[in-house]
Amino acid sequence: MPTAHRVVIAVFPDVDLLDVTGPAEVLALANRQTGRAVYQVRLAGPAAGGVRTSAGVRLLTDVAFADVGAEVDTLLVPGAVDMTADGPVARTDGEVVAWLRETAPHARRIASVCAGAHMLAAAGLLDGRTATTHWSTAAQLAAEHPEVTVDPDPIFVRSDRGRLWTGAGISACLDLSLALVAEDLGEQTALSVARQLVMYLRRQGGQSQFSVPLSRPATDRRDIDELRLWIADHLDGDLSAAALAARMCLSERHFARVFRQETGTSPAAYVEAARTEAARRLLETTDRPLDQVAAAAGLGSPETLHRAFRRQLATTPAAYRRRFRTQPA
């Protein structure tokens, strides 16, 4: 029987509740799926006892920071955000940072959830590395820690040869936790847990925090919003400006003007971004050749697929697949 993974989640006053309970639930479901206690999850805080979260719900820690010891497989660091007149500001808890400096060198794996990346950075663990965090505090992380390369787009980022993980905001804690399960127990176990969570698809780390339809706010015109959703469901169809204008019963010139006014981009650019996102998902989750990926995503040919990836992602489809392809269990 393999040794159980000892997972310690740091908690502190006003910590975001889902950042703690989300990963804990994923790991508990992994135990249930395998029928054994693969993960032993413990909450650690400044002292043993109650900690009030940002949601007002109180958590009970299992152990004080001082008593955690060195035998830690995975350290999970959730985040906390203060709302100010200038917007969200990530909180850095001094006791957590001090504990990280002392304990992190002994852990096999360290992961932050949401704004928890700010505490990893304050502890010096992200120096010289690429990291992500919630999109709303990414600029703060970059400004306060110029030694960290901040990428606000991915759902999670792995660095330090897979030892260091940083996750994006809020519900992305589930994606990061599922990726940890996949690394430990294989892809099939992670997908089984995802099904238990009623998650439609376990997103990969390279995916954006926002899908193309969600990356732009709702417009003032319901018909444009409905068209955007229709585009996402018909990527392999005729999505030329003329065809979309006809669907909207507008002249092509008037449609292009209205679409740009409402979305901030041209119909052609929006369609290419949506098709590129679909191609990304296929490259991440299948071994289909590039001509089939291009056809399924509506990009037509491998040459068009390459041009779209160069414009949208500054990389090639093959390089993207090598980096983000989910390996079989």
- Rounded to 10 degrees, the C-alpha dihedral 146/170/278/190 comes to 110
Of 24, 51, 114, 308, catalytic: 114
173 as an active site residue: the answer is no
- Nearest-5° Cα angle at 189, 193 to 28: 50
- Nearest-5° Cα angle at 128, 24 to 166: 15
**Sign, Cα dihedral of 18, 23, 29, 31:** negative
Residues in contact with 24: Cβ distance below 8 Å, sequence separation at least 6, in sequence order: 9, 41
Q: Which helix (H) or strand (E) holds 10?
A: strand 5-10
Q: Which residue, among 244, 278, 280, has the nearest Cα to 262 in the 3D structure?
A: 244
Diameter of the chain by CA atoms? Answer: 70
Locate 220 and state its tokens: 């003032």
Q: Which residues are catalytic?
A: 114
